[in-house]
Structures are given as structure tokens and as C-alpha cells.
């Protein structure tokens, strides 16, 4: 069996690995590290949670042990699709360079340019960045990429989903043609394959699992759900989710719940907290400090349930996640693999449960086609009828129950007033006249008649008759 000591890594790197407690590399690490140390381009295809980060960080810092960085000219570049994933790579870098004098800079949104500029000006060995923030620094003249010797593209398939491919191609054009490229992805979409054919030179291809397959250690289930009424379906679905969580009992130590939309992330999180569950939301609209605090709380076990969008949970690296719930079936089948890959990591068992509504059946069929197997169905714990939540839940209000009450006497319809009483309020009809009014009399009666008339009917108001009376008087 291959060990890290067999991979020609630097002694100080091996010492840091030993401190962490690792002895045996994962398949992607064992396959990618040797060609990377030889200076070859690497194309790594592996499912999430297989140790891809260490497979490029370890050889990269070994190669960077020689040399020195110059101001504004990083020696290596790591591109990540999200802030959380970039922060995870930075943590790995700090972990494995504890005995080496290598510097890094993390360029992500939510942090001031001034702090990042100060790090770049000193010169860094490793630049870890999201594509947008990297190009912002470059366009401001604060960054020069002509000295990049190693370029890493991590989670390339997510880059494609998020629309970063044009930025990636531009960044490739800003780096030297002689650079070494380490390219990692969980799937190989046609667009990803085109980029690898364009920018990688005779890469060593390491594929440790069939494309877009889930770990065999993850127990997968699906619950087919249909709401009783369209306006109650969402609240009934949340009730089923709570029942599924309760059904798992003590085996559920922590969980990630995925929603397709940011608004649903907030709604589901508020619903769970309202019913006594320890839950917190995380999505792209939250402030970076809040996102970091939520992730730190989840990793530390202070938060039991994390309700997340796909993008926000991309950099989540918690080996001990026991459950994943798909509140919504993802629109892209590949995202299903990424979602459930949050559990069953580092050799542990995991469980993934997906709620499937009638509108999701096509997308769910695509998932099963991608996995080349049928996901077992499990019974709805609430049966066909799930209790609906109150409509005010989204506003954070307490439920309001309406009760029927007996009609009080004052609520009863009022009896019709006597004819004499009605006559006072009814419009008066003028008696027929044998001769027209004079002008003065018509003007005196105009205001009085106008206030009393509520409709024409058989009655002719005086202001209409006035013009005819004037003609006859003339």
C-alpha cells in the first residue's frame, strides 16, 4: 500500500502530514502527486470529499520550497469558485506549511482591497483567489501574473455552473504559456473538456471514480411528496422534513439541508428554529463575516443543522456530517452528487434523503440516469396527509387560530326601518308643475336638490332642468 513517504514529498511537508495524523494518501492523492512533482500537467477527475485539495497543495508547496516571491508577482495561483472553498484551501496551505517559510494571500470578496493589496505588495508564494476578485486586482494594476509557475483550477465544473468560464479563459491568457496546470473537476462536461484540450499540455489524467458517481458509503433514499393543496404544499413539505429529521433520531448528529433558492433557505431555517431545531441558514446574500461565523459554528458542533444553497456550501469541509437532506431536487443532476458528497466523507458512512414533488420528477429521473441506478423510495413518515404550517410563519409571527363564534344580537342583520323612517332618507320626488320655476327659485333649490338626489331614475334633478326652464322663460 502506498504511503506519503513513497511520494517524494519534501521532508518538512511529510512532517506536517505526520502531525495531522495522515499516513496513507487517498486514490486521487496517490495518482496526482507523482506526475505533479515531475512538472507535468494534471487532469484530476474525482467526486467531492476524496481529498482533492491535498492532491495539489502538497506537490505545489514542495515545488515552491525553492525560490522567492517578488512584489505583486505570485509564484503560484489557485482559483476557486467560492469564498468558502478558497478559505478551505488557505487552511490546508497553513496546515501543511507550518515548517516552511512560504507566504500566501487570499483574494476573496467581503474583504477590503487595502488589506489584500498590502499582502500582494510584499510578494506571495501562493495566491488563492476567486476569479472575479483576482481580475479586480489585476485591472487596478495591483497584480502581475507573468511569474506564475503553477496554476490550479479547483472545482472546474462548479466554475462552469457559476458562469466563470470566460474569466478562467482570460486568466489563462494572463499567465505564462510555460506554466504547469493542475486541473480538478468532479465531472467532465463538454465545455470543461474543451478547456482542458485548449490549455493543458499532455496532462496526466487521474480518474479515481466513475464520472458523477456518489460514494458507496452513502445510503440514499427518496420520499415522494404531493401536497394536499397548492397553497399548502410548501408548509406541508416542511412538516415532512421535520418528521424525517425526527425519524432519524440519535443517528443524526448533524445535517446539511439543501434548497434551490435563497429565499427558501431562509424560510426553511426559520421554520426549523421555530419548532425547536438548532438550525442556521447560509447563502450568498449573507455578509461574509456572518457566513464565516455560521460555518465555524457548524464545524464546532454549536449548530446542528445547516440550511444551505449550493454555492454557499461548496467549500464546506466537515468530515463528520451524518445526513444530507435535499429539500428540493437540484436542477442539474451533477449538483446532486456534490450535495450528498457532504456526507460519507473520510471513510465514514452517511445518509442522504431527497424530497421529490411531482414537478421534480423529471429532474429526479435525470439524477437516477446519471447515477445509473434507481434510488430507493421510503415512506412518507406523515402518510399522505401532512399538517400545514400557518401562513404567517414566513413573517416570524405566531400562528393565529380562528374559531367560529355564536352571532351576537348586535351582529344580526338589522331589521328594515319603518316606512316613515325611510321616507326621510329617500330622495324626494318633486310634484308635477304646471309652469316652470323662475331663475331665482331654481338657483335657491339647486344645492338642496343636489344633496338629496342619489340617482337619476324617474327623477330629473334641477340642475339638468334649469337649461330647459331658461329657454322656456325666454
Distance CA 453, CA 247 (A): 71
Where does the pLDDT of residue 393 fall: very low under 50, low under 70, confident under 90, or very high at 90 and above? very low
What is the fold, at CATH topology level, of the domain defined by 218-395? Rossmann fold (3.40.50)
pLDDT, the chain, mean: 82
Where does the pLDDT of residue 68 fall: very low under 50, low under 70, confident under 90, or very high at 90 and above? confident
- Contacts of residue 355, defined as CB under 8 A and 6 or more positions apart, other chains included, come to 222, 223, 225, 237, 240, 241, 325, 326, 327, 328, 329
Is residue 309 within 8 A of residue 335, CB to CB? The reply is: no
Identify the residue whose cell numbers are 338657483: 443
The CA distances from residue 446 to 136, 329, 353, 471, 473, in Å, are 76, 72, 78, 17, 18
Identify the residue whose cell numbers are 351576537: 408
pLDDT of 353: 96
Above 60 in pLDDT, residue 268? yes
Residues of the chain with pLDDT > 90: what percent? 51
pLDDT of 427: 44
pLDDT digits (tens, 9 = 90+) for 7-20: 999 999 999 999 98
What is the mean pLDDT of the segment spanning 60-70? 87
In the chain, residues under CATH classification 3.40.50.300 are 4-207, 218-395
pLDDT of 212: 61
Residues of the chain with pLDDT > 70: what percent? 78
Above 80 in pLDDT, residue 190? yes
Where does the pLDDT of residue 278 fall: very low under 50, low under 70, confident under 90, or very high at 90 and above? very high
The CA distances from residue 57 to 14, 96, 395, 413, in Å, are 13, 8, 46, 81
What is the mean pLDDT of the segment spanning 203-227? 84
- Contacts of residue 15, defined as CB under 8 A and 6 or more positions apart, other chains included, come to 99
CA dihedral of 99, 63, 315, 370, whole degrees rounded to 10: -140
Where does the pLDDT of residue 248 fall: very low under 50, low under 70, confident under 90, or very high at 90 and above? very high
Distance CA 421, CA 108 (A): 79
Above 60 in pLDDT, residue 92? yes
pLDDT digits (tens, 9 = 90+) for 194-211: 999 999 999 999 988 665
Above 70 in pLDDT, residue 355? yes
pLDDT digits (tens, 9 = 90+) for 24-64: 998 999 999 999 999 999 999 987 667 889 999 999 999 99
Distance CA 310, CA 307 (A): 10
Distance CA 160, CA 157 (A): 5
Q: Which three cell numbers stand for residue 108?
A: 476573496
pLDDT of 285: 76
Identify the residue whose cell numbers are 479563459: 169
pLDDT of 339: 87
pLDDT of 437: 47
Is residue 70 within 8 A of residue 91, CB to CB? The reply is: no
pLDDT of 318: 74
The residue that leads in pLDDT, 76 or 458, is: 76
What is the mean pLDDT of the segment spanning 58-77? 89
Could you tell me which CATH number the domain at 4-207 has? Answer: 3.40.50.300
Distance CA 106, CA 321 (A): 26
Q: Which three cell numbers stand for residue 194?
A: 474543451
Identify the CA nearest to 77 among candidates 23, 35, 33, 133: 133
CA dihedral of 125, 131, 136, 138, whole degrees rounded to 10: 50
Q: Which three cell numbers stand for residue 233?
A: 404544499
Identify the CA nearest to 31 among candidates 209, 195, 198: 209
The residue that leads in pLDDT, 109 or 41, is: 41
Above 70 in pLDDT, residue 161? yes
Above 70 in pLDDT, residue 313? no
φ, ψ (nearest 5 deg) of residue 101: -100, 70
- Across 71-80, 106-115, 303-312, 377-386, which has the greatest mean pLDDT? 71-80
Where does the pLDDT of residue 290 fall: very low under 50, low under 70, confident under 90, or very high at 90 and above? confident
Distance CA 172, CA 164 (A): 12
Distance CA 95, CA 172 (A): 28
Distance CA 474, CA 440 (A): 14
pLDDT of 423: 37
Above 50 in pLDDT, residue 430? no
Where does the pLDDT of residue 358 fall: very low under 50, low under 70, confident under 90, or very high at 90 and above? very high
Where does the pLDDT of residue 1 fall: very low under 50, low under 70, confident under 90, or very high at 90 and above? low
Above 80 in pLDDT, residue 408? no
pLDDT of 424: 38
pLDDT of 394: 42
Identify the CA nearest to 58 among candidates 2, 15, 114: 15
Where does the pLDDT of residue 396 fall: very low under 50, low under 70, confident under 90, or very high at 90 and above? very low
Distance CA 111, CA 474 (A): 89
φ, ψ (nearest 5 deg) of residue 280: -150, 145
Amino acid at each position: 500500500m502506498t504511503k506519503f513517504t513513497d511520494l517524494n514529498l519534501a521532508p518538512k511537508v511529510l512532517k506536517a502530514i505526520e502531525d495531522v495524523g495522515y499516513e496513507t494518501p487517498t486514490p486521487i492523492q496517490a495518482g496526482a502527486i507523482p506526475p505533479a512533482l515531475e512538472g507535468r500537467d494534471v487532469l484530476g477527475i474525482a467526486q467531492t470529499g476524496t481529498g482533492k485539495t491535498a492532491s495539489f497543495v502538497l506537490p505545489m508547496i514542495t515545488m515552491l520550497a525553492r525560490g522567492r516571491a517578488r512584489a505583486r508577482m505570485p509564484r503560484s495561483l489557485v482559483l476557486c469558485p467560492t469564498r468558502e472553498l478558497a478559505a478551505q484551501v488557505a487552511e490546508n496551505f497553513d496546515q501543511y506549511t507550518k515548517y516552511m517559510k512560504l507566504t500566501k494571500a487570499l483574494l476573496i470578496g467581503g474583504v477590503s482591497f487595502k488589506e489584500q493589496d498590502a499582502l500582494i505588495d510584499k510578494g506571495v508564494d501562493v495566491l488563492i483567489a476567486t476569479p472575479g476578485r483576482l481580475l479586480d486586482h489585476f485591472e487596478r494594476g495591483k497584480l502581475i501574473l507573468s511569474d506564475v509557475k503553477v496554476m490550479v483550477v479547483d472545482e472546474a465544473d462548479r466554475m462552469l455552473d457559476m458562469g466563470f468560464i470566460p474569466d478562467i479563459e482570460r486568466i489563462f491568457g494572463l499567465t505564462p504559456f510555460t506554466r504547469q496546470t493542475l486541473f480538478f473537476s468532479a465531472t467532465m462536461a463538454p465545455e470543461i473538456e474543451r478547456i482542458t484540450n485548449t490549455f493543458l499540455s499532455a496532462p496526466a489524467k487521474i480518474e479515481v471514480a466513475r464520472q458523477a458517481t456518489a460514494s458507496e458509503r452513502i445510503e440514499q433514499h427518496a420520499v415522494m411528496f404531493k401536497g394536499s393543496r397548492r397553497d399548502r404544499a410548501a408548509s406541508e413539505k416542511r412538516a415532512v422534513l421535520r418528521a424525517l429529521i425526527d425519524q432519524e433520531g440519535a443517528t443524526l448528529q448533524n445535517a446539511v439541508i439543501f434548497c434551490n433558492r435563497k429565499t427558501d433557505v431562509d424560510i426553511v431555517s426559520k421554520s426549523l428554529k421555530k419548532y425547536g431545531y438548532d438550525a442556521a441558514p447560509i447563502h450568498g446574500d449573507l455578509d461574509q463575516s456572518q457566513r464565516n461565523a455560521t460555518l465555524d459554528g457548524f464545524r464546532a458542533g454549536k449548530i446542528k443543522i445547516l440550511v444551505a444553497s449550493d454555492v454557499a456550501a461548496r467549500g464546506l469541509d466537515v468530515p463528520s456530517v451524518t445526513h444530507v437532506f435535499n429539500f428540493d431536487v437540484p436542477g442539474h443532476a451533477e449538483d446532486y452528487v456534490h450535495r450528498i458528497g457532504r456526507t460519507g466523507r473520510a471513510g465514514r458512512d452517511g445518509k442522504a434523503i431527497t424530497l421529490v414533488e411531482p414537478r421534480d420528477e423529471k429532474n429526479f429521473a435525470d439524477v437516477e440516469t446519471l447515477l445509473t441506478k434507481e434510488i430507493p423510495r421510503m415512506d412518507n413518515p406523515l402518510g399522505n396527509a401532512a399538517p400545514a404550517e400557518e401562513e404567517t410563519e414566513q413573517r416570524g409571527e405566531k400562528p393565529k387560530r380562528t374559531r367560529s363564534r355564536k352571532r351576537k344580537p348586535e351582529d344580526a342583520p338589522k331589521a328594515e326601518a319603518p316606512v316613515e323612517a325611510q321616507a326621510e332618507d329617500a330622495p324626494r320626488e318633486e310634484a308635477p308643475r304646471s309652469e316652470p320655476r323662475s331663475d331665482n327659485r331654481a338657483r335657491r333649490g339647486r344645492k338642496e336638490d343636489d344633496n338629496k338626489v342619489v340617482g337619476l331614475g324617474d327623477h330629473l334633478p334641477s340642475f339638468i332642468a334649469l337649461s330647459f326652464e331658461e329657454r322656456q322663460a325666454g
